[in-house]
Structure 1
Amino acid sequence: MELKDIKFEDFDTSKIPSMGKKLDTIFQYNVDIDKTSYLNWRAGFAHTSRRQFVIIGEAFFSTAYNLLQQCLIDNRDRKADSWIFPIMFNIVHGIEVYLKAINAALSVVLRKNRDISEGGHDLKALCGTARNLIIEYKTANKNITTSQIFEGIKVVEKFISNIYEKTDDMTFARYPLAKNKQGHFYIETFDNEVVDLELLREQLVYVFKMLDFIYEMPELDLEREAESMADMMDYY
């Protein structure tokens, strides 16, 4: 689907000269509250940085899911052939920010000094860190929940491994060129490179649910610890 085939709304060409001189900022209220997006309502300062990362992750996963749904409902215009790039970017980025939040939460519980920004964009390394932290967490807290967490990270790990079988350059959904300036795997071939949209939708749900579950468990520990400390302060 070429850009010229995308159905945008009609625009008034007579506005171009004035808009070139002054363009109203998009960062303002619309008269209709339902046509206004509040950037800080979900991800505001009232949350920890870990929770803010998760809120952003949820947004990327939900957008990817809804784009997939639209493609599966009707793909006669072949929009999936171009939408797959923002879909995969959103999934990859959603995984990244969730893993960073998970690693930060587990590090706090395990009394480790780790910054939430550590790990860059390397999904395999981030997931490896999460696995190691989960093993340590599981060893210190042997119960059915920590066993389920360990099973959950293996699902995420397998999904990431499937991507890395194609490429270890996570810019594949952002640019046609890789870091080495060569075309990505889908550029450097005459054969079709395809994605099963139904399978991707199914796996997306499992990956998201596992990441969300893994994140919430250490956070619950931290909440209980904070409540216990508050009770002790009230007692004294």
Structure 2
Amino acid sequence: MKDIFSYNKDIEKNAYMNWRTQSFDHIHNMIVVAEGFSDSALLLVKEILKDNTDKKADNLIFPILFNANHSIEVYLKAICWTQNQLLDKNDTFEGNHNLKGLFTKVVDLENELNNSNDKAVFHDKLSNLNAYINELYGKIERTVVDKKGNNKTIHDITFCRYSLNNDLEPQFYINTLDNVVVDLENFLTVFKSIFYNLQSLSTHYLSLLEGKQENEY
């Protein structure tokens, strides 16, 4: 077998993993990765909407949702890291997959950074994302009893990676009499907006950080 990480003689048939990344800019590189996952989710949906007579949407929806959620996660972590640097904090970001927690952290850090009327613009840009996260957590969040007998709230963000949760129980879309459906035309509209605004915010914060660093030098 030919190595997967190898060249094709036709340059248009190669994917260059390090052409968009920069060895000295870790936050920029996170944004590159986030954009890759968002683009892949949107591209898959667009291809499905061209022709779904073979019902490929029913199995491709899982990688679509995974890519969308992972893109959101990486964007929020990149934004959080940039915000911390703007605030002269040594923190980076929470090392988990909790989209709700990451979203809340980004909002809290923005409140520390900005006391102006720009807050309205910030919240407007994140309104669709906030609505999606609340909708998603309404499906994946549940309460369990821990070993000490206390109630603990957990979220199964792995719902699109595995059909079973951590307790080896079926995910929310398995044991139900009603169809669990994603409107792909609506998905495309909503997530194009979510990804556009996350990209806009992440590059905005990065630009502020670059300006701050130039002034310090």
Q: Secondary structure at the match of 2:127?
A: helix
Per the alignment, residue 132 of structure 2 pairs with 159
Structure with the bigger percentage of strand: 2
How big is the shift at 1:176?
0.7
Contact 2:86 2:212 in 1 (8 A): no
Separation (CA, whole Å) in 2 of partners of 1:53 and 1:135: 23
Separation (CA, whole Å) in 1 of partners of 2:107 and 2:45: 29
How do 1:71-150 and structure 2 match up within 5 A?
71-116=48-93, 118-139=94-115, 142-144=116-118, 146-150=119-123
Q: Looking at both structures, which has the greater relative contact order when contacts are Cα pairs under 8 Å and sequence separation is at least 6?
A: 2
Unaligned 5+ segments in structure 2 are 141-154
Separation (CA, whole Å) in 2 of partners of 1:79 and 1:188: 22
Unaligned 5+ segments in structure 1 are 1-22, 231-236
Contact 2:128 2:190 in 1 (8 A): no
Per the alignment, residue 147 of structure 2 pairs with none
How big is the shift at 1:80?
0.6
Could you tell me which of 44, 49, 62 is aligned with 1:67? 44
Deviations 1:91-111 (A, max 9, x none): 000000000000000110011
Separation (CA, whole Å) in 2 of partners of 1:155 and 1:112: 29
Q: Secondary structure at the match of 1:70?
A: helix
Could you tell me which of 152, 176, 181 is aligned with 2:168? 181
The alignment yields a C-alpha RMSD, in angstroms, of 1.5
Q: Secondary structure at the match of 1:39?
A: coil
Per the alignment, residue 178 of structure 2 pairs with 191
Structure whose CA Rg is larger: 1
Deviations 1:159-180 (A, max 9, x none): 1111111113111111111111
How many residue pairs align between the two structures? 203
How big is the shift at 1:182?
0.4
Could you tell me which of 8, 15, 38 is aligned with 1:37? 15
Separation (CA, whole Å) in 2 of partners of 1:120 and 1:196: 28
Contact 1:103 1:129 in 2 (8 A): yes
Structure 1 stretches of 4+ with a deviation exceeding 6 A read: none
Contact 1:95 1:123 in 2 (8 A): yes
Contact 1:85 1:174 in 2 (8 A): yes
The reply to whether residue 221 of structure 1 matches residue 199 of structure 2 is no
Separation (CA, whole Å) in 2 of partners of 1:56 and 1:103: 16
Structure with the bigger percentage of helix: 1
How big is the shift at 1:120?
0.7
TM-score by length of 1: 0.81
Separation (CA, whole Å) in 2 of partners of 1:155 and 1:80: 23
Q: Secondary structure at the match of 2:126?
A: helix
How big is the shift at 1:143?
4.5
